[in-house]
A and B are shown apart, each in its own frame.
Chain A
Amino acid sequence: MPRPFGARNDKNFMEKINIKIDGKEYSADSGQTILEVARENGIDVPSLCYHPDLQTRSTCRMCLVEIKGQKDLKTSCSTPVAENMEVLTESPRINRARKINLELIFAQHQEECPDCVWFFNCQLLKLAKRFGVKITRFPDRKIQRKITQCGPIVFDQTKCIDCRNCVDVCPVDFLSVENRGADISIENSQDEWKECIACGQCILHCPVGAIEGVGEFEEAQELGIKKKKMRVVQFAPAIRTSIGEEFDLKPGEIVTGQLVAALRKLGFDKVFDTSVGADFTTFEEAGELLERLKSGKNLPAFSSCCPSWVKFVEFYYPEFVPNLCTSRSPQTMLGGVIKNYWAQKEGFKPEDIEVVSVMPCVAKKYEIKREEMKINGLFPVDKVLTTREIAYLIKKNKIDLKNIAAGEADDPFGMPSGAGVIYGASGGVFESALRTVYFKATGKNPAGDEFKRVRGQEGIKINEITIGDKIIKSVVVNGIRNARKMLEELKKNPQAFQAMEVMACPGGCIGGGGQPVPTNSQLRKKRAAALYDIDAKKEFRCAHENPALQKVYKEFFVSEEIIRPILHTSYAPKKKSAIMTLKNSKETR
Chain B
Amino acid sequence: MADLIEKIKDSGLTGRGGAGFPTGKKWEAVKSTPGKKKFVIANGSEGEPAVGKDGWLLENYPEEIIAGIRLALETFKAQKAFIYLNKNYFEKYSENLKKIIRELPIEIFREPGGYLCGEETTLIESLENKRLEPRNKPPYPTEAGLENCPTLVNNLETFYAVAQIAKGEYKQERLYTISGDVSHPGVFELPENWPIEKILHKTLNWPIEDFFVQVGGGASGVILTMEELENKVTGSGAIVVYDRKKTDPGTLMKKWLDFYFQENCGKCVPCREGVYRLRELLKQEEINWELVKEVCLVLREASFCPLGKSVAAPLESLIMKVIKR
Contacts and interface: CB of A to CB of B under 8 A. Distances in A.
Bind each other = yes
Nearest to B288: A137
B265 A181 contact: yes
Contact of A100 (B294, B303, B309): B294
A479 B252 CA distance: 52
A80 B304 contact: no
User: Interface of chain B, helix or strand or loop or mixed?
Assistant: helix
Interface string B260-301: 011111111110111111000000000000010011011001
A97 B297 contact: yes
A179 B136 contact: no
Contacts of B263: 181
A97 B297 CA distance: 7
A529 interface: no
Contact of B301 (A56, A57, A64, A181): A64
B325 interface: no
A100 B263 CA distance: 22
A180 interface: yes
User: Interface of chain A, helix or strand or loop or mixed?
Assistant: loop
Interface stretch (A103-111, A125-133, A212-220): A103-111
Given A80-B138, A97-B297, A182-B266, A162 B302 contact: no
B168 interface: no
A104 B275 contact: no
Given A59-B267, A100-B294, A181-B262, A162 B272 contact: yes
B321 to A, nearest CB: 23
Interface in A175-209: 177, 179-184
B286 to A, nearest CB: 14
A104 B274 contact: yes
B135 to A, nearest CB: 9
B139 interface: yes
Contacts of B275: 181-182
A538 interface: no
Contacts of B138: 79-80
A105 B298 CA distance: 12
Given A97-B298, A182-B261, A182-B266, A56 B136 contact: yes
B102 interface: no
B266 A61 contact: no
Q: For this complex, into which size category does the number of interface residues on chain A fall?
A: 35 or more
Given A4-B139, A177-B131, A181-B264, A137 B291 contact: yes
Contacts of A184: 266, 272
A547 B276 CA distance: 66
Interface in A305-357: none
Contacts of A104: 269-270, 273-274, 277, 295, 298
Contact of A141 (B266, B276, B301, B303): B276
A93 interface: yes
B261 A61 contact: no
Interface in A88-115: 93, 96-98, 100-101, 104-105, 107-108
Interface residues of B, number: 31
Nearest to A180: B266
Given A61-B304, A97-B301, A107 B273 contact: yes
A368 B266 CA distance: 40
B267 to A, nearest CB: 6
A58 B304 contact: yes
Most buried by A among B263, B295, B302, B309: B302
Contacts of B274: 104
Contacts of A589: 276
Interface string B118-137: 00000000000001100010
Contacts of A162: 266, 269, 272
Contact of A78 (B132, B136, B291): B136
A58 B268 contact: yes
A73 B301 contact: yes
Contact of B261 (A60, A79, A181): A181
A138 B274 CA distance: 11
Interface in B99-156: 131-132, 136, 138-139
A80 B273 CA distance: 27
A537 B179 CA distance: 82
A21 interface: no
Interface string B56-84: 00000000000000000000000000000
A60 B136 contact: no
Nearest to B134: A58
Nearest to A82: B138
Contacts of B298: 97, 100-101, 104
Interface in A43-63: 56-61
B192 to A, nearest CB: 22
Contacts of B132: 180
Contacts of A137: 291
Nearest to B261: A181
Nearest to B266: A184
Nearest to A77: B136
A299 B304 CA distance: 50
A504 interface: no
Given A101-B270, A104-B269, A138-B277, A4 B297 contact: no
A93 B301 contact: yes
B266 A100 contact: no
Contacts of B295: 100, 104
B277 to A, nearest CB: 6
B114 to A, nearest CB: 9
A57 B263 CA distance: 20
A100 B299 CA distance: 10
A512 to B, nearest CB: 30
Contacts of B309: 72
B269 A64 contact: no
A180 B112 CA distance: 14
A463 B136 CA distance: 39
Interface in A144-202: 161-162, 177, 179-184
B266 A183 contact: yes
A93 B302 CA distance: 11
B136 A97 contact: no
Contacts of B139: 4
Contact of B273 (A56, A108, A179): A108
8 contacts: A58-B268, A60-B268, A73-B302, A104-B295, A105-B269, A162-B272, A177-B131, A180-B265
Interface of A: 4, 56-61, 64, 72-73, 78-80, 93, 96-98, 100-101, 104-105, 107-108, 137-138, 141, 161-162, 177, 179-184, 589
Interface of B: 131-132, 136, 138-139, 261-270, 272-277, 291, 294-295, 297-298, 301-304, 309
By Cβ-Cβ distance, the 4 closest A-B pairs, closest first, are A184-B266, A104-B273, A97-B301, A182-B276
